[in-house]
Homo-oligomer: A and B are copies of this chain.
Amino acid sequence: MQTSINKQASIIYRNSHIYFDRELAPYHIGSGQQFFLLRIYEFPGITALEIAKIGHYDKGTCARAISKLCELGYVERKLVEEDKRSSQLYVSTKGKEVVRQTKIVLKKWNDILCNDLEVEEQRQLEKQLEKMADHAFSYINERKKGSICKK
């Protein structure tokens, strides 16, 4: 067997899924909302599609995550008069407390993963993962739709 990078990434992803589902259960959200909530907090007024792009998510997935956050009252949509297709997203007061907790939960997960890595090692690993994620996404994206790659 050659390298096991794909296997390890899968294990990390699947366990993070379990982790967030467990830790965020008190707030009635799961691993699928975590990323979106934090992004809306980070960029007030961001639109659904913009978040989808940042995280390389499908827009359908994104729409559902945001719907759930709105239903729970953690996020609010503000209609934009100039363009009625999209709406701007904001974390509500109620949602801010959940953001605080979610940040703690995320930080803890990061610490669990990086347990025995030196700071410098961690920084380097992060860079490499970023590159790999970029390769992964680019490869997939270039082969979307029209076969002939188009932006």
Contacts and interface: CB of A to CB of B under 8 A. Distances in A.
A5 B110 contact: yes
A18 interface: yes
Contacts of A113: 5-6, 132, 135-136
A16 B12 contact: no
A29 B95 CA distance: 41
A125 B137 CA distance: 19
B12 A133 contact: yes
Contacts of A55: 7, 10-11
A139 B110 contact: no
Contacts of A50: none
Interface residues of A, number: 51
A15 B18 CA distance: 19
A129 B1 contact: no
A5 B114 contact: yes
16 contacts: A2-B107, A5-B110, A7-B55, A7-B133, A8-B130, A10-B55, A11-B55, A11-B56, A11-B136, A14-B56, A15-B137, A15-B140, A19-B136, A22-B143, A112-B135, A117-B128
